Amino acid sequence: MQGIEEVKSVLATPKNILITSHRNPDGDAIGSSLAMARWLENKGHRVMVAFPSEYPATYQWMPGINGVEIFDVDSSALDDFSQHIEVSVILDYNSLSRIDKMSKYIENDRLYTILIDHHLYPDPIGDFILSDTTASSTCELVYRFIEGFDQKPLGDTDIAACLYTGILTDTGSFQYSTSPALFRTVATLQELGIDTSLIHDRIFNTLNEKNLRLLGHCFVNRMEVLDEYKTGIIFLNKHDYQVYDIQRGDTEGIVNYLLKLENVKLAIFIRQQPTIIKISFRSKGDFSVEEIAKNYFNGGGHRNASGGFTKSSLSATLDQIKTILPRYKEQLNKSIL
């Protein structure tokens, strides 16, 4: 692994290390951050993990999660720790815009920066960069990093549980982005004694009644299927947020249901949040949603899973999407599943 010797020399003595991941952290962002934190702490470093915004409650069981700082909630511990940071670890994002104001803590030439990520078009940030856009997840890459660094298999079950979480969630429970190498990694994680069924249950089978009713509402009242464009759209407005008491994480995964429709290749999920409209895109096969997210909605991500936002109104956003879709009509109709 190129540059790993330099990382080894930096980490040869105890350091103050800040680990950051992106806004609205998902299983991969959280899993990779907590795994890295535990691994660095085991080596005697002083570590803080910080996310710009809160994480979904489904990850509350994860080892080490209670020590995470949330910038939006309270930045005081971060303000203090930032005086002493020597190493910055950037996980599951590759552009400082993904952490908004929190970038002030790590935009500092004095810091040794390690970036590990699998998103497309990485910005050239980091003294050590492990960026592989073909990897399933940042957790898969963190495993590769740890193995390359230690030159022996991982030996910690908590780290294994964290890494498995990110792999599980970023592959849609092993539906996509899998590879023989990934399954070998997963085999090693399972050999460490993690309970894969329990992890699956904790993440995917913890809905409350309200969540399931919201799902019903989405399908019955807020879903549009545009056969001509092989596209499904679900939107939620401000009123829905109140009626269904939608909290962070409650809308997680809703976009994927649209892909259950045989004829849908493009899934779009639009949420009217207090100050912005947030949009999630998913696709099947070779149709890339990354381009739409990047070109029209200030976003990005991966070929089959991207996100973005706009400051327009909800109705203007729906209209905009309907003007964009004809440009992709041919591609959507010919793309292979």
Q: Which residues bind ligand 5GP (CB under 6 A)?
A: 22, 24, 280, 299-302, 305-309
Least distance (Å) between residue 175 CB and ligand 5GP: 15
Which helix (H) or strand (E) segment is 308 a member of?
strand 305-310
The DSSP-derived string for 103-116 is GGGT--TTSEEEEE
Binding at 302: pick from Mn ion, ligand 5GP, none (beta carbon under 5-8 Å per type): ligand 5GP
Least distance (Å) between residue 55 CB and ligand 5GP: 13
Question: In terms of CB distance, is 31 or 308 closer to ligand 5GP?
Answer: 308
Binding at 306: pick from ligand 5GP, Mn ion, none (beta carbon under 5-8 Å per type): ligand 5GP
Least distance (Å) between residue 280 CB and ligand 5GP: 3
Least distance (Å) between residue 92 CB and ligand 5GP: 7
CA distance 257 to 123: 32
Q: Report the residue closest to Mn ion, judged by CB.
A: 28
Question: In terms of CB distance, is 170 or 290 closer to Mn ion?
Answer: 170
Question: In terms of CB distance, is 22 or 230 closer to ligand 5GP?
Answer: 22
Q: Is the Cβ–Cβ distance between 255 and 267 less than 8 Å?
A: yes
C-alpha 68: how far from chain center: 16
Least distance (Å) between residue 86 CB and ligand 5GP: 27
Question: In terms of CB distance, is 64 or 307 closer to ligand 5GP?
Answer: 307
Question: In terms of CB distance, is 190 or 295 closer to ligand 5GP?
Answer: 295
Question: In terms of CB distance, is 52 or 308 closer to ligand 5GP?
Answer: 308
Binding at 301: pick from Mn ion, ligand 5GP, none (beta carbon under 5-8 Å per type): ligand 5GP
User: Which of left, alpha, beta for 113 (phi over 0: left; psi -120 to 50: alpha)?
Assistant: beta
Q: Is the Cβ–Cβ distance between 122 and 131 less than 8 Å?
A: yes
Q: Report the residue closest to ligand 5GP, judged by CB.
A: 307
Binding at 309: pick from Mn ion, ligand 5GP, none (beta carbon under 5-8 Å per type): ligand 5GP
Least distance (Å) between residue 136 CB and ligand 5GP: 12
Q: Which residues form the interface with Mn ion (CB under 5 A)?
A: 28, 92, 138, 170
Question: In terms of CB distance, is 126 or 307 closer to ligand 5GP?
Answer: 307
CA distance 289 to 280: 9
Tokens 């080490």 -> residue: 64
